[in-house]
Amino acid sequence: MRRSVVRPMPPHSLFILALVSALLSAQVPALAQLVPIKTVPVAAGDQFLLFPSSNLAMGGVSLALPDTLGDPFANPATGSRLEEDIFFGSPTLYRISNGNGSGRSLPIGTLFRSGDWFGGGAVSLQEIEGARRNPWVFTRFAWDPGPPQILSEGSARNLYAFGFLGHRFPDLGLSIGVSGFWADLGAVDGVDLLYAMSQRIQQSGHSSDLRVGILKEWEGDRSLELLLLRTKLRMKHDVTYMDLVWEPIAPDTIPQPRWKDRVEENLDYTDTWGAHMVYRRPLNRGGWVIGWSLTGNWKDHPKIPNYEIQNIPRDPGNTWAYGLGIGLSKSEGPSRFAVDLVLEPIRSETWADAASDTTTMKGDIIPAGEKTVENDFRFTNALVRAGGAVDYQWATFRAGLQIRSISYDLDQFNRVEAVQRDQSESWMEWTPSLGASLNLPGATVHYTARFTTGTGRPGTNTRWTDDRALAVAAAADFILAPSGPLTLQDARVTTHQLAVVVPIR
């Protein structure tokens, strides 16, 4: 039997790094159906904030206050609440401070209702700019700052397509809808930071999201929303590194240092199955409405890339995530107020498989394919969303706040070195929002501004400072086992969306 010894990884590197990109139908209300996962306070941009929403500027409240404009993109059955056919465009811009990336998108689409049938579709063109960094390059004489490196060729193009169709059964008070979302991805925001020491990275792939929704409505404004979903991510990263090698310029000459390209191909696959339920009913007095929600996700990570210097394949992992929520809303005259409280218990396991028979520090053999490192995450996350709106003549003014509290315990066991380690981390992310709507003749204009703080570009407090220690990814989920206490370089995410909604008469 062939034996091999896996060298201990440097203290500043990770034992497990798993990227799970759960791509939704790309707007804030849809986040209720998929429970996001983070183990580091990553400043991720609003790449998938594409479609218009009435409640976006109110902190994204959704449990007790329906969003007639935004809900069909999350649950296709809610399209039956449409009162008229509309055409919309919702250009969106976001920027992460300190040169950590930006994005611009232009979605256009339509929502319609014809008798008991309803549906709609949208397409979007997007440009993503990667993070701007100034890496240090080793020369034959000293460590010198090199020229700014441009990853993903400076910018990349993404294309998105969304469509849904549904039917209402008025005698039953029942609506059923199906939707599909497709993204042709030239880049996912933040993946350039996954390979912080690379010379360049070329991304390619796609994401898909299929949903089946049911809406049941009773007399007295009671309603029940059910949703089943299936999302898939398939990405490839072609990463180029510059290696310093010693090679003779000519035969029989002294070897000289030279920089040589090395290209690695990494695959990133994630599959998610989910179910979501929301029940709303009015209370007995004063325009109050209460809502409850229950969410369940199972995420399978069949292929995780090898990031940076980690030469042991990062293989499967899985996650069970849940959300339990309650919401209240109050509507009286021209004003509305709503608040959501959501508790998110999550259990996630990731591991590394031995590429070949591996000898442990005790002399035992771990057969090829068996686990060498195991990570067990236990999360107790909480989410608070609150917002209000007031109508004044031909305008509506909105404001809100979203607070996400993330707390987890990590148990890590390295079978090669027979070492067990525990770590606990927690932080809070704050997202205030402001917005206004203008009811103009023939059109309605919605403007929303969001600002997210409490996140940034994280690292670990280790002996050496190395940006590779905690690689960064985008979208919703970040599952990686830090090698030490977390540090944070602050970064703010600023997002602006201007949605123009034109009734089709």
User: Residue 503 pLDDT > 50, yes or no?
Assistant: yes
- Predicted confidence at residue 134, as pLDDT, reads 52
- Span 138-167, mean pLDDT? 68
Nearest to 57 by CA among 469, 425, 387: 387
pLDDT on residue 100 = 80
Q: What integer pLDDT is reported at residue 120 of this predicted model?
A: 96
- With 80 as the cut, is the pLDDT of residue 268 above it? yes
Most confidently modeled range among 7-21, 295-309, 458-472: 295-309
Q: Would you state the pLDDT for residue 66?
A: 93
- Are 453 and 428 within 8 A, CB to CB? no
Residue 14 has pLDDT above 60, yes or no: no
- Identify the H or E element spanning 110: strand 102-114
3-state helix, strand, coil in the chain (%, to 5): 5, 60, 30
Confidence of residue 317 (pLDDT cuts 50, 70, 90): confident
Q: How large is the average pLDDT for residues 151-156?
A: 64
Averaged pLDDT for residues 216-245: 90
pTM here is 0.81
CA atoms within 13 A on the CB side of 308: 23
| Per-residue pLDDT at 488 | 58
Question: Given this model, what pLDDT does residue 144 score?
Answer: 45
Concatenating the DSSP letter of every residue in 457-494 gives: EEEE-SSS--GGGS----SS-BEEE-SS-EEEEEEEEE
pLDDT for the residue 16 = 30
Tell me the C-alpha to C-alpha distance, in Å, between residue 209 and each of 75, 113, 302, 357, 371.
12, 23, 17, 39, 31
Determine what percent of the chain is predicted with pLDDT higher than 90.
47
- The phi and psi torsions of 174 (rounded to 5 degrees) equal -120, 140
Q: Report the pLDDT value the prediction gives residue 285, as an integer from 0 to 100.
A: 76
* Inter-residue contact 283 to 42 (CB < 8 Å): no
Report the pLDDT averaged over residues 137-161: 60
Q: What is the pLDDT of residue 458?
A: 55
Percent of the chain predicted with pLDDT > 70: 79
pLDDT of residue 32: 60
Range with the largest mean pLDDT of 85-94, 240-249, 257-266, 346-355: 85-94
The predicted model gives 405-409 an average pLDDT of 93
Q: How far apart are CA 191 and CA 231, in angstroms?
A: 19
d(CA 349, CA 321): 12
Give the least confident one: 12-16, 167-171, 202-206, 226-230.
12-16
pLDDT of residue 194: 66
For residues 214-236, average pLDDT: 94
List residues bridging with 221 in a β-sheet.
Answer: none
CA 439 to chain centre: 33
Please state the three-class secondary structure of 212-224 as a single string: EEEEEEECCCEEE
Cα–Cα distances in angstroms (integers) from residue 403 to residues 330, 366, 385, 428, 453, in the given order: 20, 44, 6, 7, 10
Task: Report pLDDT for 310.
Answer: 39
Distance between CA 331 and CA 329 in Å, rounded?
7
Distance CA 304, CA 110 (A): 37
Element (H, E) at 412: strand 395-414
Does the structure show a pLDDT above 50 at 7? no
Q: Which pLDDT belongs to residue 423?
A: 87
pLDDT exceeds 50 at position 105: yes
pLDDT band at 8 (very low <50, low <70, confident <90, very high): very low
pLDDT at 342: 96
What's the chain's length in residues? 505
For residue 481, list its beta bridge partners. Answer: 16
- pLDDT winner (highest mean) among 20-34, 185-199, 306-320: 185-199
> In terms of C-beta density within 10 A (0-12 exposed, 13-18 middle, 19 or more buried), how is residue 10 classed?
middle
pLDDT of residue 286: 82
At 238 the pLDDT is 86
Mean pLDDT calculated for residue range 368-387: 91
Query: What pLDDT is recorded for position 97?
Result: 86
Average pLDDT over all residues of the chain: 81
Give me the pLDDT at residue 196, please.
67
Q: What is the pLDDT of residue 201?
A: 83
Rounded to whole angstroms, the Cα distance separating 144 from 136 reads 6
Give mean pLDDT, residues 297-324.
72
Question: Which segments of 53-98 does DSSP mark as H helices, in order?
Answer: 71-74
